[in-house]
Structure 1
Amino acid sequence: MKLTFKHMFVREVTLQYPHQKLVLPDTHRGALCLLRYEDGTERCVGCDLCEAACPSHCIKVVSAEIQDGQVLRRIATAFDIDITKCVFCGFCVEACPVNALGMTKLYEYSTDNKRSLIFDKPKLYEIGEKYHSDAKAYLVAHNQEKADDTAREYRYKFPAYVNGETVPQPVKTETKPEPAASAPKAE
């Protein structure tokens, strides 16, 4: 009876899962998503760095170059992630130069069809729209993006010559080195 009374007054630690859920931290690594800029344009530039960084080879990116006026742009025409192979390491999110990938707090995606666990580009954008605040909080928590809306200006910038801007030349000034201080005299 001593053991029974000892455990009667101890705080509960078990959660009744479907009805009670843990509050997950901003650094939680859940399902991946694709993000857009605030004006609705796609962030992904099809550079394939996420595919190269993935240790489990679960990401498949097909990219193409398109002519947009006088600018030749690169886009991802297909973007697939096999969630059954993903180890949720976050290397792909860190490798992305434009923060197009984000990790959400989504962990409930059980299904009876294994093919539905291969997320294609529209599904990844759908997850990104639904869990945008989680993905943004993950990027901010890992110092990859600022908390305000300066996403385009923070992490990745094209060199000035790509946009046709003039590159300021460094100003050369001649500086003469100062003479070294003389050694103290011995007395």
Structure 2
Amino acid sequence: MTLLSEYVRAHWREDTFFGYQFLNGVHPVMIRRCTELPCNFPVTPAMVASSLGESSSLQDELEKGNIFLADYKILEGVPANTINGYQQYIAAPLCLLHLQPSGELVPIAIQLSQCPGPDSPIFLPSDSEWDWILAKTWVRYAEFLVHEAVSHLLLTHLIDEAFALATLRQLPMCHPLFKLSSRIVLQ
């Protein structure tokens, strides 16, 4: 084991480590500063009051720019696969995060679908330990899906491939970009 893997093993359940991964993980592009809560994420000030501390309210933190949202709406309606006869599932969560005065980013509310209602509760750090861990796990899973399918595959390989093929087909062999593209494609 490495020092990093030892650290992850010891801290993976912590909210501060979950928030750290939003900014320092492999895919830090889904998080956005939140100035007002989306209408499909009915978080009330009372729900998150204990997470914000006694001196702040949700509205104050929104105005200060200390509230962030990770919205995985892009996954809504994506059909899940069946593997070895077992139906798989995909969530399209909303995750509200708070930047604490200490500089740590922590999750304060998670909804696992884009449609609020009785079938889509809002999970809070005050819920049971395993409910909260499971909600954070679904957010990580959504993060992985968006990273792999959109950011990595689509915006890296598939877009680059189109330019590489166009370059190889349209530029003469003596052109420097042709030489660069042919090296990239052949590797």
Question: For this structure pair, what is the TM-score category when the shorter chain's length is used for normalisation?
Answer: under 0.3
TM-score by length of 2: 0.25
TM-score by length of 1: 0.25
Greater C-alpha Rg: 1
More helix by share: 2
Higher relative contact order, chain-length normalized (CA < 8 Å, sep 6+): 1
